[in-house]
């Protein structure tokens, strides 16, 4: 039987990698370095998903001036680049999922709103040959939920949209898939739960990587 999809584009944070603790540590480093109150892990979980500039905008206190906010963002980026692998790890079952997809001839890639340098490094370190294409936020290209990064990824893979699917854990991912003309498979093991995903339009939700594999192949 022909598999349902032959090209799978994944979100990174909250979908393949649990990056929350390292993100929170860098957020709180930047806030403390600038004399601002720190945020809880739960707050950071709610703030992630739409790029690091938005993460820091949400993390600083209301009314923070643009210069101080920009300083916090720069401090966050510098700290995160050298501290992003202390607590981060693939979610259980993800490596097996990627290996099974590769064994079945699928093309796989990552499109993330995390800044491009961090996306590429994390994918090389944690996934190696299992994830040959990884694109993150960079100047001149609109970030998700705009479809440009997804389209660039399809082009890089030499794939077409007709048998591609987007996999992610957030409302931004659901909207990204819609804007790119792809079906979306949402996952509930990451930063947003199934109730949140359904409320934001998710039609198909996987609770484990094993369930996700059954939806793809």
The catalytic site residues sit at: 11
Rg of the chain on CA atoms, in Å: 17
Does residue 106 have a cis bond before it (omega within 30 degrees)? no
DSSP state of 13: B
The β-bridge partners of 164 are 7
Output phi, psi for 145, to 5 deg: -85, 10
Lookup result for tokens 């994830």: 131
Per-residue b/e over 29-46, b at no fewer than 16 CB within 10 Å?
bbbeeeebeebeeeebbe
What pairing do the DSSP bridges indicate for beta strands 7-10 and 164-168? parallel
Q: Which of 65, 81, 68 is nearest to 26 (CA)?
A: 81
- 107-115 β-sheet, strand order: 133-137, 107-115, 7-10, 164-168, 184-187, 205-206
CA distance 121 to 127: 10
């Amino acid at each position: 039987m022909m598999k349902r999809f032959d090209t799978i584009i994944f979100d990174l944070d909250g979908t393949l990698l649990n990056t929350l603790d390292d993100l929170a540590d860098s957020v709180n480093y930047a806030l403390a370095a600038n004399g601002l109150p720190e945020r809880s892990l739960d707050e950071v979980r709610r703030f992630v998903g739409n790029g690091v500039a938005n993460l820091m905008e949400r993390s600083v206190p209301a009314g923070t001036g643009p210069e101080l906010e920009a300083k916090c963002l720069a401090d966050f980026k510098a700290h995160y680049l050298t501290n992003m692998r202390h607590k981060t790890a693939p979610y259980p079952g993800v490596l097996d999922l990627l290996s099974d997809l590769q064994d079945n001839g699928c093309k796989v890639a990552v499109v993330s709103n995390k800044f491009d340098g961090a996306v590429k490094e994390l994918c090389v370190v944690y996934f190696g040959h299992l994830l040959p294409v990884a694109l993150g936020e960079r100047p001149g290209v609109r970030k998700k939920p705009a479809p440009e990064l997804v389209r660039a990824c399809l082009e890089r893979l030499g794939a077409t949209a007709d048998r591609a699917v987007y996999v992610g854990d957030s409302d931004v991912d659901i909207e990204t898939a819609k804007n790119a003309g792809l079906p979306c498979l949402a996952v509930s093991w990451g930063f947003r739960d199934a109730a949140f995903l359904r409320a934001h339009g998710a039609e198909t939700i996987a609770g484990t990587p094993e369930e996700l594999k059954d939806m793809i192949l």
